[in-house]
Amino acid sequence: MPSAFTPSPSPNPRRNDARRIKFGIWICSLIIVGAGTSTLIWISLVFVPFIGIFALPNLVISLCVLVYAIPFLVYLLLAQTDPPSHVKGLFLPLNPVRNFGITLATFQYLFFLLNTLPRVAVVAFRYVIWHNLLKKLDEENVQRERTTLDRAQPIPVKVGVRVGRETRVWKGKGKADQNAEEEEDEQQWEASLVVDELEEKEEEEGTEDSYGDKRYRGEGIFRDFAVYNVEYRLRKDARSALLDIYLPRCSKEDHLAEQNELEDPQDTAAAFGTTRSRAPDIDNDLADESSKSAPVSESDPMPRSSTNKDKKTRKRSIKGSGRPVVVFIYDVGALGVLKPRKEMFCLVGAKFAEMGYVTVVPDITLYPDGEVEEMVTDLRYVLSWVEREISKYDGIPSRIFLVGHGLGAHLAMYTLAQDAVVRSRDARQATLESKRQNEVVAKLNGTPMGRWKGRMDEDLPNGLRALSIYAEDVKLPTIKGIILLAPVSDIIKQIRFESKHWLEHISPIRRAHGLSQIMCMQHSLGHLLFAAKNVLQPERLPRRVMIVHGAQDRIVPFDSAHWLSELLYGLDVPTVFRPYRNLGHYDLLISIMKGFNSEYTEWLERDFRAFIET
């Protein structure tokens, strides 16, 4: 029996924190509405004679309230999960300089949303409703009308040949002419029966693609251009992880015509910045530097010339069954309350599908639902599913290309690098162990040590020794190439860059990649590749890499991409760096969306085609 002095159980602290956070959000919202309204009123009264003397101090007070209330609301929404260890209770900013910087960043974020979201929504609506659904209905109506007309046409028949239930009487014809026309009509009738049987079989089994292979084209109103919400794994919390597939609608002839644009040696070389003039704002100095630094070999992904033999080989590969596969990974570390989802990037998938590629856009676990381990696991399952199932959608499992944006680019490259580094380390350790055993055997047998004599360089960083592959049981396919759009190359440098703009606490990067500096370094692509430079086997990485970055990027520093390109070049990974002076972080993404034809769209599309098709 419990003692009378037994204390009552304390309430759940997490539940109390959740209640306090909700209460604080409501209070801050009310304060912002009141202070914003009073600010507008006092601004209008400042210029009124005599009243402006009293309005000016009140305006300053209202602005000060906003400068504190807005950061408080931002922190309550974004910074309460895994706060710093020294924080007890709610994590709120008190530094006025920090609050002013966060307020300016909030207004910039709201301006971006108000300027971009309506345009994207209109174009997406036009793409889904007008370009696809109405076009599909029109095509079905035209096909139905043609079928009705074909069935309504009278069929000429003749004596002695039964066609349907009618006969035709021949007059003024010779016997030879009559027999010849009878045989021709019989052949036409038999051919029409074969066509009818094939059409019925197609309707039962599925449509035949332009390359002559059967493939699944979706169901319902989205048939023939997209397949939505395909499950690729079941997560630990029993939630299904889904992906969308965008199918190319162009015919075989159109696809071949597009590829023939790259057949000319000048066009191919120009696509990589060797002969033709570049985009209006491309950084020529850095592009020339990256072109010079790119390793040239027999497997160089950037051919400078093209022979007739190369053209014939490329045409044979194009005429083969299937299309290249593009897997797009969105920015998994995006700032703000609007979290990215696969549906938001339907226009990106539609753009790559329009270029002739089977495009996969998966949903990836975001912080705080999961950290970097869960993100890497999701991506490994996505790539495994693509290799196993994409042939049903006319994709080529051996021609998979990854495209990532922002922290999604870091995730894509880190997933491949983690697998490559660990397997290279294990292979090296196995070789060293074999040499050590040979030395022991040689010493016991009195064999000269010359063959095995030498220093065993076993000095590995502690982080590299402890590194393991997340979801190692999920096999990764061979990746033909990877395109990194405004990539984060180093987590530590990115956190420092965000701290200069007072955003490190509301950004998910630090908390998603580890609360300690050691964990962030272990999950950083740049640190991992640099630490493994003496161990890594380059053939385990993607066979070629393209990095595209804009100099006007205010979210990921431009130096990040340039440093990554130099690091990959030092590791003997064929890399192409495409810098643009007047492109921002999201400008780069919008330029590759279907329906947004900026001055960079054609150049980016040409670069992507040359990278994937050559």
Q: At what angle do helices 601-613 and 252-260 cross, to 10 degrees?
A: 100
Strands 240-246, 226-234: pairing is antiparallel
CA–CA separation, 379 vs 327, rounded Å?
A: 10
| Per-position DSSP letters for 326-372, written without gaps between them | EEEE--TT--SSS---GGGGHHHHHHHHHTT-EEEEE----TTT--H
- List the one residue out of 18, 75, 72 whose CA is nearest residue 505: 75
Beta partners for residue 226, in sequence order? 246
DSSP state of 225: T
3-class secondary structure for 409-424? HHHHHHHHHHHHHHHH
In the chain, what is the greatest distance between 2 CA atoms, to the nearest angstrom?
A: 123
Strand, coil or helix: what is 573?
Answer: coil
Beta partners for residue 10, in sequence order? none
pLDDT of amino acid 355: 92
- List the one residue out of 396, 386, 541 whose CA is nearest residue 479: 541
pLDDT of amino acid 273: 42
- Residue 230 backbone zone (phi > 0: left; psi -120 to 50: alpha; other: beta): beta
Assess whether the previous peptide bond of 368 is cis (omega < 30° from 0): yes
Strands 240-246, 545-550: pairing is unpaired
CA–CA separation, 80 vs 91, rounded Å?
A: 6
Per-10-residue mean pLDDT of the chain, 614 residues long, equals 43 63 94 94 88 89 95 93 85 93 93 89 78 58 55 47 43 56 65 59 47 48 75 89 86 51 44 44 52 38 39 42 92 88 91 93 93 95 95 93 96 96 90 75 64 51 86 94 95 93 92 87 92 90 94 92 93 93 91 88 92 88
- pTM summary value: 0.77
CA–CA separation, 350 vs 327, rounded Å?
A: 12
- Tokens read off for 98: 């920090």
Any idea of the CA torsion for 68, 74, 75, 79, to the nearest 10 degrees?
-160
Give residues with Cβ within 8 angstroms of 311, minimum separation 6: 263
Beta partners for residue 106, in sequence order? none
pLDDT of amino acid 313: 40
